[in-house]
Amino acid sequence: MEFSVKSGSPEKQRTACIVVGVYEPRRLSGVAEQLDKVSEGFISNLLRRGDLEGKSGQMLLLHNVPNVLSERVLLVGCGKERELDERQYKQIIEKTIQTLNDTGSMEAVCFLSELNVKGRDTYWKVRQAIEAAQSSIYAFNHLKTRKDEPRRPLRKLVFNVPSRRELPLGEKAVAHGMAVAKGMNLCRDVANMPPNICTPTYLAEQCSELAERYDSLSFSAVTEQEMEELGMNAYLAVGRGSANESVLSLLHYNGGGDQAPIVLVGKGLTFDSGGLSIKPAANMDEMKYDMGGAASVLGVMQAIAELQLPINVIGALAGCENMPDGRSYRPGDILTTMSGQTVEVLNTDAEGRLVLCDTLTYVERFEPEAVIDIATLTGACVVALGNHASGLMSTHNPLASELLTAAEQSGDRIWRLPLWEEYQTALESPFADMNHLGGREAGAITAGCFLSRFTKKYNWAHLDIAGTAWQSGAKKGATGRPVPLLTQFMINRTAATEQV
């Protein structure tokens, strides 16, 4: 879909449809009042008749409104004006896009970006509207032989801003929103791909194709043979039972000259059976999403390449598959990691941290300014935070603060969990330097504690996205998170650098 911004009067828009808001109870927004005045009370008469109450999500499509150039006017219920918050605004946008698609309006001018959302400016409203719009029309139908698509889908959406002075802000929001939405869709596409197609090699191929599309990106890969030479025994152990070879894919974005890079490490378990500690059969199909961290890194790398940010970023996609086999690693095994530290395996279904620990050691060679790993790591994080917020853990308070700020700005929520020294005792082992599980209590935190032992040489943060990377049920599928959060983090880093 094509997006743009403009500033103009609603009655003068020569388009298929204009979209305006109505508050509860039957109270016109400023733009709707303008239309009502021009149309000599046409809209207010309909509301008095009870055609629309203004409850959030209600829709009323009007044709041939007097003295209005647009073919249609869509009235959108926005609830009570003082209660319109970020969540409700995005829900209204999604419902609006779905309605426009059903009406056959191939283009529209949307005035909902002028609604009063608590504490949010034009940039936020336009950008969030674009991301919500793209999410509402996303469908993974790549492998369907019959694709149900609207006969006349919405192709162009223009957001109106209150004044010409705000056009540059709106244009920036369009650029950022489009890049983020495109990155989210790439993340979704890769994460939704079935595991018989999406293997570690497939992840590497996606990285290679992305690098071919953008001059600022370059691609390289670390094979199993190279991993053996480097002593990445924990990573290799996890993939040993699979017929699909492990591949660590590396995407380099060079936009910042001699700056030290920020490294994003994504857990890329393209399927996680649990290994010998096999998972229950129910919902095991969703374990194709265990590479959600790697998919999000791919999406972020595309977004920053689209925006041409003046920054250096390396994306490391730790591709691997965890399967039961005669060669599989076992509970009780002791592995020597690339760092030289030894780890006692207690459960082969806690495999992600073993792949990540070697990858976190590998990226030391880039002398990074900061490292952020992103992983569908623990069910404990889902129990703690549900599917609304990703878990954040960090050994560096300024980095954690930056991520929390980016989460607030982007609406891609995270919540910080502690990494106090007291939790480290859960990793003690009588046979090795540490165990890798930590027990039932504080499972998300002890997983973070384990990873922290491999990050002493740089500033590090960990995002546990087990609850946010995908959703189950009727709308099952990847969400594209945390692409908005991490792209905003990179935008903020760029802005901070430019101010120095």
Looking at residue 43, the DSSP 8-state letter turns out to be H
Angle at Cα 165 formed by Cα 1 and Cα 175, nearest 5°? Answer: 30
CB 343 within 8 A of CB 431: no
Distance CA 79, CA 45 (A): 19
242 vs 44, 221, 272, 319, 493, CA distance in Å? 66, 19, 10, 12, 39
Which is nearest to 234 in space by CA: 323, 345, 366? 345
**Side-chain half-sphere of 307: how many Cα atoms within 13 Å?**
30
Q: Which residue has the tokens 């002791």?
A: 334
Distance CA 458, CA 300 (A): 21
Helical H runs in 289-440?
A: 292-307, 352-362, 379-385, 397-410, 421-424
Which is nearest to 129 in space by CA: 149, 103, 157, 104? 157
CB 464 within 8 A of CB 375: yes
CB 59 within 8 A of CB 103: no
Positions of E strands within 362-489: 370-375, 390-394, 414-416, 434-435, 460-464, 470-471, 477-478
Active site residues: 279, 353
How far from the centroid of its chain's Cα atoms is residue 286's Cα?
Answer: 17
Distance CA 295, CA 315 (A): 10
Distance CA 164, CA 26 (A): 30
Question: What is the pairing mode between strands 342-344 and 434-435?
Answer: parallel
Neighbours of 141 (CB within 10 A): 10
430 SS3 class: coil
How far from the centroid of its chain's Cα atoms is residue 32's Cα?
Answer: 34
Which is nearest to 75 in space by CA: 106, 96, 98? 96
> Percentage helix, strand, coil, to 5, in the chain?
45, 20, 35
